[in-house]
Amino acid sequence: MIVVVGSLNMDLVTYTNRMPVIGETIIGKSFKQIPGGKGANQADAIAKLGSTVRMIGCVGEDVMGETLLESLYKDGVDISMVKRVKGVATGIASITVDSSANNSIIVVPGANNMLSIEDIKEYEQAIQDSDIVVAQLEVPIETVKYVIKSAKLKGKITILNPAPAAELDDDLLSYVDILIPNKTELELLSGLQVSDDNDLYHATQVLLNKGVRDLIVTLGSKGCVHINNSGTRVYPAYKVQAIDTTAAGDSFIGAIAVGLSEGMSYEQVIPFATAVGALTVTKEGAQSSMPLRSEVEAFTRK
């Protein structure tokens, strides 16, 4: 069983030919309200790929919160540990996607900011019963620290997606088994600029020296790199027609958790996650773009 601790947001997505500049009003192409939030996306990806998954997080007592929970439940996520907080709005993300599939995002955390250490203590048994615990940085950092440390001390595999980009203290990093940043997040965490393969290697060494066991750096259409103390391996991306890159990282991370919980090696799980990430960019939205296991199997058989 996999536990995901993190955010639930309603994504308010505007599709447009180009991004507006400051002070400009433009006419967009279309608008959609799609369930999202890094935590919820990762939980949703895990459920669709066929693993048992429990989500720990917070929504408000409003229609958006209700819709988010219904959507996760429908996809097979155990939502019994998602709290409904009075007097606070459910988190939202205002997303703009241009015709080249680039996105820009503003997140208003709302209820996600209410997820406390006390809440985690209440659900400690779920962590105890799990094999893998996955967290990101869209809920309070103290809560993330507590979860990762608690899971690691219970002997669980800990996966941290350090997104959105933030600096993290060494104590937290020392309890992370698998850190999955993209390039921007890696730069902020390591304090180094990453312009080429050599920079990337040096930046990852900074984090391995802080006690992270494995690093998987995702590089969008360039694929990803897996680095640990035994070496470095590059995994190219599949060539697909990208429609919307939202949540590629989330589905990739969900797939890593699923594969590891099934006992896959890194050489098996990373190509699996790469296929899941590729399929995600071929569809619009976050949870709406997460592929089913059968779709991944059909795609990799081709």
Quick one: which segment of 3-11, 114-122, 144-152, 238-246 binds ligand ADP (CB under 6 A)? 238-246
Determine if residue 285 is labeled as part of a ligand binding site.
yes
Work out how close the CB of 181 gets to ligand ADP at its nearest, in angstroms, rounded to a whole number: 8
Determine if residue 203 is labeled as part of a ligand binding site.
no
Determine if residue 218 is labeled as part of a ligand binding site.
yes
Please count the residues of this chain forming the interface with ligand ADP, following the rule CB under 6 A: 19
| 252 belongs to the binding site for ligand ADP (CB under 6 A) | yes
Output 89 or 219, the one with its CB closest to ligand ADP: 219
Which member of 238, 264, 293, 300 binds ligand ADP (CB under 6 A)?
A: 238
Cα gap 124→247, rounded to integer Å: 28
Determine if residue 229 is labeled as part of a ligand binding site.
no
Determine if residue 40 is labeled as part of a ligand binding site.
yes
Catalytic site includes residue 250: yes
Quick one: which segment of 119-127, 148-156, 237-245, 289-297 binds ligand ADP (CB under 6 A)? 237-245
Quick one: which segment of 139-147, 187-195, 259-267, 277-285 binds ligand ADP (CB under 6 A)? 277-285
| 136 belongs to the binding site for ligand ADP (CB under 6 A) | no
| 223 belongs to the binding site for ligand ADP (CB under 6 A) | yes
Output 175 or 272, the one with its CB closest to ligand ADP: 272
| 88 belongs to the binding site for ligand ADP (CB under 6 A) | no
Which member of 105, 108, 208, 219 binds ligand ADP (CB under 6 A)?
A: 219
Whether the CB-CB separation of 127 and 150 falls below 8 Å is answered with yes
Residue of 220, 202, 208, 214 lying closest to 267 (CA atoms):
214
**DSSP collapsed to 3 states, the chain:** CEEEECCCEEEEEEECCCCCCCCCCCCCCEEEEEEECHHHHHHHHHHHCCCCEEEEEEEECCHHHHHHHHHHHHHCCEEEEEEEECCCCCEEEEEEECCCCCEEEEEECHHHHHCCHHHHHHCHHHHHHCCEEEECCCCCHHHHHHHHHHHHHCCCEEEECCCCCCCCCHHHHCCCCEECCEHHHHHHHHCCCCCCHHHHHHHHHHHHCCCCCEEEEECHHHCEEEEECCEEEEECCCCCCCCCCCCHHHHHHHHHHHHHHCCCCHHHHHHHHHHHHHHHHCCCCCHHHCCCHHHHHHHHHC
| 249 belongs to the binding site for ligand ADP (CB under 6 A) | yes
Q: Scanning residues 160 to 189, which ones bind ligand ADP (CB under 6 A)?
A: 182
Determine if residue 278 is labeled as part of a ligand binding site.
no
Determine if residue 74 is labeled as part of a ligand binding site.
no
Quick one: which segment of 4-12, 107-115, 166-174, 274-282 binds ligand ADP (CB under 6 A)? 274-282
| 245 belongs to the binding site for ligand ADP (CB under 6 A) | yes
Residue of 259, 256, 249, 237 lying closest to 280 (CA atoms):
249
| 248 belongs to the binding site for ligand ADP (CB under 6 A) | yes
Residue the block writes with tokens 């907080």:
85
User: Residues at the annotated binding site for K(+)?
Assistant: 244, 246, 280, 283, 285, 289
Binding-site positions? 9-11, 37-41, 138, 182, 218-223, 244, 246, 249-250, 280, 283, 285, 289
The residues annotated with a catalytic role in the active site are 250
